[in-house]
Amino acid sequence: ESFHIVRTPGQDRELCAGFLLTEGLIEKLDDVLVLQECPDDPDVVRVRLASGAGEGGGRNLAVRSSCGLCGKVDLDAMQTSLGAIEHGVWIPVEVLYRLPSQVKVNQELFRQTGSTHAAALFNSAGDIQVVREDLGRHNALDKVLGWALLAGRPVEDLGCFLSGRISLEMVVKAARARIALVAAVSAPTL
């Protein structure tokens, strides 16, 4: 099976690893046997999963937009498959207020274009662990989660910051990665 993801180039292995995790295709890095950028085509990452992995995705079409729910077969099953997150992260409110400016400092592409989203992982002291940008906020989140997965960095003690609104699909992605806290800067939406 192949997926076509509209994305901002860069950190493509991270994006793929995060996408596999947040789509429920893998649960851990050991489920990935091959995650390799194609030397003949910089826009292709080849993936081979271990036996049994890759059966939980449930999309019925290729991903051709940045919408996180396009093509989902069963939204109810997706939500119930997440399970409870048994841990929590305690973050002082002043840390949450500092996050937008701390993340913005790391948004080089946003400074150049004014049109990208960012996602970041941070600890309870507000120390930013990683920031990734992408035109799509779903991809930015997949990139930071893929970074953690590939680096072997557990995320149970981290929070996630998003530069855009928190929608169901963003919460689902974070929950699949076992992130207990998601914070964002955005105007209210209906």
Tell the burial category of 101 from Cβ atoms under 10 Å away from its Cβ (0-12, 13-18, 19+): exposed
Local structure of 37: helix, strand or coil:
strand
67 tagged catalytic: yes
Tell the burial category of 13 from Cβ atoms under 10 Å away from its Cβ (0-12, 13-18, 19+): middle
Nearest CA to 179 out of 120, 112, 105, 114 is that of: 120
Tell the burial category of 154 from Cβ atoms under 10 Å away from its Cβ (0-12, 13-18, 19+): exposed
Contact between 178 and 137 (Cβ < 8 Å): no
Marked catalytic residue, from 16, 38, 67, 160: 67
Number of H helices, E strands in the chain: 6, 6
User: Which residues are tagged catalytic?
Assistant: 67
